[in-house]
Amino acid sequence: MDRLMGIYNKLYRHYGPQHWWPGDTRFEIVIGAILTQNTSWSNVEKAIVNMKPYLEPEILHRMDVNRLAEMIKPSGFFNVKANRIRNFLDWFSGKGYSFSRLMEMDVEELRKELLGINGVGRETADSIILYGLGKPVFVIDAYTRRLFGRLGFDMPDDYDDVRVIFENRLDRHEGLFNEYHALIVRHSKECCRKKPDCANCILASDCAAAAEKY
């Protein structure tokens, strides 16, 4: 079995299914993807709570941008992110605020259009496509780079180079990509960041850094 799949199996056996994305609707997932840029999820949750009564595209699009900024304050970078949400909505209005319409699009074309929105970069676009629309693109983030770098994988600097490595080595299934990225985040938060104890890490035997150290 491919080593990448073996690591996934270990993570899944240990942590179980993560039920990502943590959000009730496709639109909430889009908002969460923007709000979580360089921001802890706990702060994003506070902002989402404030937004709950208004979490529909048309309603949010009509809202004054300063009021929107005030609402998402706990997520940090609130002025920047309020404008980014607006930029997404400007584009989304052109699609009739219809997620069905996005589902019908060619994924490459959709990705290109999302990247054309000021404030939507590679990771945000891919999070929207994978978790918002349920289509198989592999989301790369800082956790992924750090974890697999430690595990001895070649991690190119370019985002898409890394993404293609994962997409080519794994079976192209939305469920797998969904769970794998969620498990990477879960493991990174719980083990690598919170308790950096590589000796007891479930991936210790896979980890070049740990093998050297201990």
Partner DNA sequence: CGCCAGGGCCATA
Partner DNA sequence: TATGGCCATGGC
203 binds DNA (CB under 7 A): no
Among positions 41, 50, 103, 202, the unique one binding DNA when judged by CB under 7 A: 41
CB-wise, 81 or 86, nearer to DNA?
A: 81
Judge contact between 115 and 121, C-beta under 8 A: yes
66 binds DNA (CB under 7 A): no
Stretch that binds DNA, among 53-61, 71-79, 105-113, 166-174 (CB under 7 A): 71-79
Cα separation, 37 vs 119, whole angstroms? 10
Establish whether the linkage from the previous residue to 20 is cis, with ω within 30° of 0: no
Cα separation, 213 vs 108, whole angstroms? 42
Cα separation, 50 vs 85, whole angstroms? 15
33 binds DNA (CB under 7 A): yes
Stretch that binds DNA, among 8-16, 41-49, 56-64, 97-105 (CB under 7 A): 41-49
Cα separation, 93 vs 101, whole angstroms? 11
Applying CB under 7 A, the residues found at the interface with DNA are 20-22, 32-33, 36-43, 46, 73-74, 76-81, 117-125, 127, 131, 141-143, 157, 185, 189, 193
